[in-house]
Amino acid sequence: MRIVLVTDAWEPQVNGVVRTLKATRHELEKLGHYVHIVSPDQFRSVPCPTYAEIRLALTTADAVGARLAAIGADAIHISTEGPLGLAARRWCKRNGLPFTTAYHTQFPDYVAKRTGLPADLIWPFIRRFHAPSSAVLTTTDSIRAELRDHGISHVRPWSRGVDLDLFSPDRPPHPALTDMDGPIQLYVGRVAVEKNIEAFLATRHTGTKVVVGDGPARAGLERAYPDVVFLGPLFGEELASAYAGADIFVFPSKTDTFGLVLIEALACGTPVAAYPVTGPVDIVGDAVGCLDDDLDRAIVGGLGRDRQACARYAQSYSWAESARQFLAALEPITPELPVAA
């Protein structure tokens, strides 16, 4: 099957959407499918306001459609609600072609954080965007329930996975963490306003706070919290060793639909402290961490959880199963519905 993934989020961005799509493509190709990515780097683009590392494609439905037609797609998946997603959606509707979409991020809350607009103003756009899709793929029961509450009922499961060969409790701690005062409290992810990192940095627990990642809020947070260790972005074995060297992983975000970093931390044996919101509520049970509306209490409650139990729990997440869910939700383009140029 020739599968096209249309996404506004792609390399060189470093985030959960990109990592999910790359892992999904890898698993689908292992199954013998051809996967073509349509992404902003294939078009003229401009920096996203307030977030320059994200590029917004400057294109039209006809230009995107020409690429889709040239590929001869057997199935089309539109992964994001940005300019490319809108253009592909418009072209598919015009040609009567089925497509699936995904809800990766709490987009209304994300926009609200960046613009000050009420999230309720964004939900009509989300409903309109996803309404013509054959299925809306998203991660967890709580997110699917929330989408149904907002009038989006055609939802399908698309969970996430973890590379257990890379993320393991047997990893030696990252050298930067070995001489730190404990407990070492770690955050990994984009350093941006929607991740609510300041809530973590303002907690009062003794020990050392460590931030791994980069983003537009980093410089300001480094100035405001000089006692926090900012390691910048880490990848591969270095990232795994940072998880393994921490005593607890702190996840302050309230705008995620899942949080890949949660299961990566758990796979390395590191318990989780987070708010009881979508994402963590579906992943973090009492045996592997603590959820609390007070992040200080969540850190206290999560410290000391059994690291082997955390690692065993993470083994239930598989990229192969995630790809099978994705494949099962696709709506094939039949011979009666040819992709027209």
User: What confidence score (pLDDT) does residue 50 get?
Assistant: 65
Structural domains for the chain: 2-161+320-329 (3.40.50.2000), 175-316 (3.40.50.2000)
pLDDT along the chain (341 residues), means of 10: 93 87 96 95 80 78 92 94 94 95 82 74 91 95 92 95 94 94 96 93 96 94 97 96 98 91 97 95 95 97 96 95 96 68 49
Burial label, 216 (beta-carbon count in 10 A; 0-12, 13-18, 19+): middle
Burial label, 136 (beta-carbon count in 10 A; 0-12, 13-18, 19+): buried
User: What confidence score (pLDDT) does residue 164 get?
Assistant: 93
Burial label, 5 (beta-carbon count in 10 A; 0-12, 13-18, 19+): buried
Cβ–Cβ < 8 Å for 94, 67: no
Dump strand ranges (E) for the chain.
2-6, 34-38, 45-48, 51-57, 75-78, 100-102, 136-138, 155-157, 184-188, 208-212, 229-232, 248-251, 272-274, 289-291
User: What confidence score (pLDDT) does residue 340 get?
Assistant: 52
User: What confidence score (pLDDT) does residue 52 get?
Assistant: 66
Helix (H, G, I), strand (E, B) or coil at 247: coil
Task: Tell me the HSE value of 87 on the side-chain side, using a 13 A CA sphere.
Answer: 23
* H helices, E strands: number in the chain: 14, 14
User: What confidence score (pLDDT) does residue 46 get?
Assistant: 83
What pTM, to 2 d.p., does this model score?
0.87
